[in-house]
Structure 1
Amino acid sequence: MFETNVDATYAWLGLALVSVATAGVAATLPASPPPDVSGVAHTIDSVADGPHPSRAEHGLAASRIRLTERSVALRSDGGTGTASLHGPKITPVLARQTERNRTDGSGGLRRVLDGVPPSAAFDDPTAFAAAADRARDADAEWKPAPDRLAVRRVHYGSVHVTLVG
Structure 2
Amino acid sequence: QTDAAINPGNSGGPLLDSAGRLIGINTAIISGSGASAGIGFAIPVDAVNRVVTALITNGTVPVPGIGIIAARENETAQLGIDGVVVLRTLPDSPAARAGLEGATNDGYVRDVITAADGKPIHGMSDLAAALEEAGIGRDVKLTVERDGRTRSVTVKVTDISQQRRG
TM-score by length of 1: 0.24
- Select the structure of larger CA radius of gyration: 1
Considering fraction of residues, name the structure with more helix.
1
TM-score when normalising by structure 2: 0.24
Higher strand share: 2
Tell me which of the two structures has the higher relative contact order, counting C-alpha pairs closer than 8 angstroms and 6 or more residues apart: 1
